[in-house]
């Protein structure tokens, strides 16, 4: 049969093969498996308002947008532009 040298070779393959695979696929992951421009840049992303004035301005902007879309929808339906509604 093969003897001791064959057993040492087989043991080395059993140990080194998984380690080699993990080393090959585990190094340099950023350049190997990255998709360029996948995440938006900071200037294109939404900014969460943190200050009270910024929050109030954002709420006013959202309220104005909602009322504009409501008026537009009512105008398309032929209804009045502003009736009694909750704000």
Token reading at 51? 């200050």
Q: Model pTM? A: 0.42
Q: What is the pLDDT along the chain (87 residues), one digit of tens a residue?
A: 578 999 999 999 999 999 999 998 888 887 777 788 888 888 888 888 999 999 999 999 999 999 999 999 999 998 655 555 555
Q: Measuring CA to CA, how many Å separate 60 from each of 55, 70, 87?
A: 9, 15, 11
């Amino acid at each position: 049969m093969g003897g001791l040298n064959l057993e040492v070779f087989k043991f080395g393959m059993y140990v080194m093969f998984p380690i080699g695979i993990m080393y090959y696929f585990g190094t340099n992951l950023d350049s190997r498996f990255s998709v360029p421009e996948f995440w938006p840049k900071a200037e294109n992303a939404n900014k969460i308002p943190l200050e009270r004035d910024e929050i109030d301005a954002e709420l006013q902007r959202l309220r104005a947008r909602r009322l504009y879309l409501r008026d537009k929808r009512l105008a398309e339906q032929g209804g009045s532009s502003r009736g009694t509604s909750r704000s």
